[in-house]
Amino acid sequence: MYKAAMIDICKALADPARLKILEFLHRPDAQCCTFADRVCACDVESLLGLSQPATSHHMRILVRAGLVTSEKHGRFIYYRLNAAAFASAAEYFARVVPPPRRPARAA
């Protein structure tokens, strides 16, 4: 995980709307075309209460950061969490910050 990728991930996470999207992707409350772990963009739109372009904007940021993957099916786009990205972010932080119990460093 390069630092630039890590920054993109953190930026993607640093917004209430996008955090809400991620929570929704984890436990989707099916409405129109959402099923199983796949969520369509229109459901995200009604979830957020934002305009369609704003929703599109947020999804693009999440996809670019790698936190979410997208699949086009006809007119619909289905989104899904990408657990691997979360895992490598967690790994990065494990390297940056010492685990809670060990002393930081003897200098």
Partner DNA sequence: TTGACACATTCAAATCTATCGATGTATAAA
Partner DNA sequence: TTTATACATCGATAGATTTGAATGTGTCAA
- Applying CB under 8 A, the residues found at the interface with a second copy are 3, 6-7, 10-11, 13-16, 19, 22-23, 26-28, 30, 35-37, 80-81, 83-84, 86-87, 89-90, 93, 96-100, 103-107
Q: Print the binding letters for residues 5-34 with DNA: x by CB under 7 A, - otherwise.
A: ------x--xx-x--------------xx-
Query: b or e along 34-52 (b: 16 or more beta carbons within 10 Å of the residue's beta carbon)?
Result: beeebbbbbbbbebbeeee
Q: Which residue has the tokens 């969520």?
A: 39
Number of Cβ within 10 Å of residue 2's Cβ equals 8
Minimal distance in Å, beta carbon 96 to a second copy? 5
Number of Cβ within 10 Å of residue 18's Cβ equals 21
- Among DNA, a second copy, none, what does residue 88 contact (CB within 5–8 Å per kind)? none
